[in-house]
Structure 1
């Protein structure tokens, strides 16, 4: 399908044919469930107002990073307001994550720099959210004492785990590229051991590891903030920080074992 002139706002059908090519919503590890469920349709309706502007795809990626980091920072606002605004900012982060690539595909401006910025943005945003969650649990503006820095430490530990999980995945491609091998295929992710393959399927079915992802973590934080509002203290927030730190550290180890036991490095 030919594109309309740059002065003409494209239709949704014209955009969809270019920015949502076959398979973009079906990527095993490259598309978030929220993107498939609703955000790709929302972003498609934002694209007509962006593709003919001077805003570049990389500038949209920078805005994505700002939204993600701001979500972590706003968690320092106590009570339900901070958690709610953080969840909304993560939705904006997800929207911009969709829009930047779609604008790039429409204009034919996809680049290695854009891919790199996108990955760095995910690292920074998701880490900021978990660090912010830990600082929120520490209640720095409260009166509970210096011992609360333990919660900030646990939040930082959860952020480190979330970063390492992403790094483990990305470093597979780095190792293969430096060895002169092609990018890994989806089927290579299946562990060679039948026992590990079964464990991997069980973990995938439970999806507990997703709680340290940006969208899921923001919704989880909002949920525990509501519970705290009912209870009148930070019990559920602090319990949540412990849970996310434990999940992040466990998933870091399990993901590393899964990679080493699969054919991804062969």
Structure 2
């Protein structure tokens, strides 16, 4: 089987709704990763690698990013950031291969969603363990408060995703079709204004895998200059607070919208 060109691939693997919907595509995908993934996909579609196998690799990369944060100092943060980029690449490639081969499946969608849950939770939990300094060779014992805050951030990130996914579950069990994007807007003018204001600040994005990995990398650089874990600990506390606040606000937004009607 000959390899398709990028021009041949693009209209098939990037149909309307994949790259043009801001709610359905990560900014990093639109900015650079989709262009990179096409070049990987054109080689992979002629191999025996299946879309689900690529999804499993995506999950592994996300979990490995969280584990990499247990390596002290800048090397661990750099490794985590690179692994998250690999995770994002595989997240693009698995769907592209599936669409080109006509192998899209409910199983693939399910694995993809589970992978997102696991990767973001692992990264934030790993940050908490990093902030607790669990592998310090000398000095005081680990401060488990930071590990706890990392777990709080991880649970908050999972809850945010679950709140979105459970809308479709609730509608399906009630015999309703999938909710349209327009129905996500709160019916209350005040809540709609607050939602737009929160969206403009973009703070909620910091608990996402790509954004969190870059924040963790920045904190590691600053910690290297300061000689302690102040910025890493500040990051985990901030992410825990953002995750919890966003989980509450997102739930209120869904309940106040027409998505459950």
Shared fold (TM-score, shorter chain, > 0.5): yes
2:6 corresponds in structure 1 to: 12
Mark the runs of 5 or more structure 2 residues left unpaired by the alignment: none
For residue 246 of structure 1, give the secondary structure of its aligned residue in structure 2.
helix
Distance 1:144 1:257, change over 3 A: farther
Q: TM-score, normalised by structure 1?
A: 0.96
Once the two structures are TM-superposed, the CA of residue 141 in structure 1 deviates from its matched residue by 1.6
Which residue of the other structure, out of 173, 191, 208, is the alignment partner of 2:203? 208
Answer yes or no: is the 8 Å Cα contact 1:158–1:244 preserved in 2: yes
1:234 corresponds in structure 2 to: 229
CA RMSD, 1 decimal: 0.8
Once the two structures are TM-superposed, the CA of residue 26 in structure 1 deviates from its matched residue by 1.8
Q: TM-score, normalised by structure 2?
A: 0.98
Structure 1's consecutive aligned runs of 4 or more residues displaced over 2 angstroms after TM superposition are: 143-147
1:129 corresponds in structure 2 to: 123
1:63 corresponds in structure 2 to: 57
2:100 corresponds in structure 1 to: 106
Aligned residues: 260
For residue 53 of structure 1, give the secondary structure of its aligned residue in structure 2.
coil
Q: Please, which moves more after superposition, 194-203 or 135-144? A: 135-144
Say if 2:219 is the partner of 1:224: yes
Once the two structures are TM-superposed, the CA of residue 144 in structure 1 deviates from its matched residue by 4.5
Measured in 2, the distance between the counterparts of 1:157 and 1:145 equals: 23
1:152 corresponds in structure 2 to: 147
For residue 110 of structure 1, give the secondary structure of its aligned residue in structure 2.
coil
Answer yes or no: is the 8 Å Cα contact 2:133–2:142 preserved in 1: no
2:86 corresponds in structure 1 to: 92
Q: Deviations over 1:160-217 (max 9, x none)?
A: 0000000000000000000111111110010000000000000110000000000000
Answer yes or no: is the 8 Å Cα contact 1:28–1:186 preserved in 2: no
1:38 corresponds in structure 2 to: 32
Q: Deviations over 1:86-123 (max 9, x none)?
A: 00000000000000000000000000000000000000
Which residue of the other structure, out of 139, 142, 161, is the alignment partner of 1:166? 161
Measured in 1, the distance between the counterparts of 2:189 and 2:141 equals: 49
Q: Deviations over 1:19-70 (max 9, x none)?
A: 0112311224221010011100000011111001000000000000000000
Measured in 2, the distance between the counterparts of 1:147 and 1:256 equals: 34
Measured in 2, the distance between the counterparts of 1:24 and 1:159 equals: 27
Which residue of the other structure, out of 46, 51, 55, is the alignment partner of 1:52? 46
Measured in 1, the distance between the counterparts of 2:168 and 2:38 equals: 30
Distance 1:37 1:232, change over 3 A: same
Answer yes or no: is the 8 Å Cα contact 2:17–2:24 preserved in 1: no
Measured in 1, the distance between the counterparts of 2:182 and 2:22 equals: 10
Measured in 2, the distance between the counterparts of 1:180 and 1:145 equals: 57
